[in-house]
Chain A
Amino acid sequence: MKKIFAVLAVSFFTVALQAQFSKANLQASGLTCSMCSKAVKVALEKVPFVQEVKVNIKTQEYTIVFKERNNAEFDALKNAVEDAGFSVASLKVTGNFSAVSVQKDKHLQLDGKNFHFINSSDKVLNGEQTLTIVDKDFLSAKDYKKYSAATKMECIKTGKAGNCCVKDGMQSEERVYHVII
C-alpha cells in the first residue's frame, strides 16, 4: 500500500509540474532602429531550438516559434539579440501548462528550468500561459529595478540560485528565470 502511494505521489508530482514552452515574443532595442536591421531575425533563426521567426512591424515584435519537444533555454535568445548588436527590451514566453501551482516569490521547476514567480498570487496555471522574464538584460533597466525590488532574494541580481535559494533543492550554479505573470 505504501508502495502504491509512493508511485501515485511520484506520478502526480511529474504530471503536476508539467509545462512545455512553444513560442516567445521578443522586442529588441538599440541605438539605431532595431527593426531596420535583419541582424536580429537572422541571429534568432540560428538558435537551435527555434523553428521560425516572424517579424511584426506593427507591434515591433519578433514572434519566435520553438521546435516541438524543445528544451528552450531563454538565455540563448537574449545572447542572439546581443550578438546581433542589440539588446532585449522585452521577452514573453508562452507555454502549455497543466495544473502548475505557483506561489508568490517562490521557486518552481518547469520544463527542466527553474522559475521564480515574482508577483503572482497563489494560483494554479492551466492551458496556454504567458510569462514575462524580468531578469537583468531582458527588459529596460528601469523596469528591472522595479521588479528586482519586489523580492528580497539575491537570485534576482545574479539569475543563479546562489546561496539564498539552495534550500529549495537547487545547486547554487543553477540558472533561475525570474518571471511575472
Chain B
Amino acid sequence: MLSFNQKLLSGLKRERSFINNYEMKDIRILIVSFVFALSSSTVNAQGPIPNITDYRLDFTVVDMKGDSIRLSSLKGKVFLLDFWASWCGPCRYANKQLVKYYSKYKSKGFEILSVSLDDEEKDWKKAVAKDKITWIQGFDKGGWDSFAAIKWQVDALPSSFLINKDGDVVGINLEKDELEKKIKELLGL
C-alpha cells in the first residue's frame, strides 16, 4: 500500500502536459501544505489521508435547482470533486472527457461533483448546458476566494480530487487514461 504522499506524487508525475512548470510548483506546494495541515492533528495509523468528512474540507454548495449539496453527504460513492469555471478554457476541455467517463461509469456507481468558481450564476448555467453536463453541479461564487476553493487550497483551474467510497482523497488532477484506470479500480471493475 502506497502512502498518501507517494500516491499524490505519482499522480503529479502524470500531470497534464499543458500545465507549465510554475503551476506544477503550485500544485506541489498545495500538496505539501495539504499533507502538513492534516498531519498536524490527524492521528491515523495509515497516515494523514484527507477525508471529505473532515470539517476542514467539508462545504456546502448550491446546485442547479437551488438546493444545498453537502460534500460529506457523498460519502459511500466513488466520485470526482472537480473545481472549474465557465471562463477557464482548459476546464471546458476537461469537461468533454468527463462527459464521456460519466456516461460510461454512472451506472456502476461513479459520481462527479463539480464546483464552479464563476462570479455570475448565468455564466455557470450557460456553460453547464453547453457542455451537456448532467452530474451534480455546485456553485460557489467568489472566484479564488470562494469558501470551497479556500478549504481545498485550489490555486489553479481545473483542479480535481478523486474520492473513494471511504471519503478519502486518492488522486489529484488525474485525467484521461489515468483517471479512467483509477475509477475502474475504485469501482472494482
Residues of A in contact with B (beta carbons under 8 Å apart): 30-33, 35-39, 41-42, 55, 57, 84-86
Interface flag for B64 (CB, 8 Å): no
Asked whether, in the complex, the Cβ of A31 is within 8 Å of the Cβ of B87, the reply is no
Does B19 lie at the interface of the complex (its beta carbon under 8 Å from any beta carbon of A)? yes
On chain B, the number of residues with a Cβ less than 8 Å from chain A's Cβ atoms is 22
Residue numbers in A under 8 Å from B89 (CB-CB):
33, 36
Give the 5 A-B residue pairs with the shortest CB-CB distance, closest first.
Answer: A85-B22, A38-B155, A36-B157, A36-B88, A38-B144
A37-B155, A38-B155 are known contacts. Are A32 and B144 too (CB-CB below 8 A)? no
Smallest beta-carbon distance A90→chain B, Å: 18
Q: Which residues of A have CB within 8 Å of B156?
A: 36-39
- Cβ–Cβ contact B20 & A55, under 8 A: no
Q: Which of B13-30 contact A (CB under 8 A)?
A: 18-23, 26
A37 to B30, CA, bound (A): 13
Give, as a whole number of angstroms, the nearest-CB distance from B146 to chain A.
Answer: 12
Residues of A within 8 A of B180 (CB): none
Q: Count A-B pairs with CB separation below 8 Å.
A: 52
CA–CA, A30 and B22, complex, Å: 11
Q: From B154, which residue of chain A is reached at the shortest CB distance?
A: A38
Counting chain A CB atoms within 10 Å of each CB, the highest count among B23, B144, B155 belongs to B23
Q: Beyond A57-B87, A57-B143, is A85–B155 a contact (Cβ under 8 Å)?
A: no
Q: Does B9 contact A (CB under 8 A)?
A: no
* A86 to B20 alpha-carbon distance, docked (Å): 10
User: Do residues A39 and B155 form an inter-chain contact, with CB atoms below 8 A?
Assistant: yes
Contact status of A39 and B87, CB under 8 A, knowing A32-B18, A55-B143, A57-B119: no
If over half of B's interface residues share one DSSP class (helix, strand or loop), that class is named, otherwise mixed; here it is loop
A49 CA to B18 CA in the complex, in Å?
A: 33
Q: Are A42 and B143 in contact (CB under 8 A)?
A: no
A85 touches B21 (CB 8 A): yes
A42-B155, A57-B119 known; A36 vs B22 contact (CB < 8 Å)? no
Whether a CB of chain A sits under 8 angstroms from the CB of B69 is no
- Between-chain CB contacts (< 8 Å), 25 pairs: A30-B20, A31-B20, A32-B18, A32-B19, A32-B20, A32-B90, A33-B88, A33-B90, A36-B89, A36-B91, A36-B158, A37-B23, A37-B26, A38-B26, A38-B144, A38-B155, A39-B155, A41-B144, A55-B143, A57-B87, A57-B119, A57-B143, A85-B20, A85-B22, A85-B23
B90 contacts A36, C-beta separation under 8 Å: yes
In the bound complex, how far is the Cα of B22 from the Cα of A97, in angstroms? 39
Which residues of the partner chain B approach A35 to less than 8 Å between Cβ atoms? 87-88
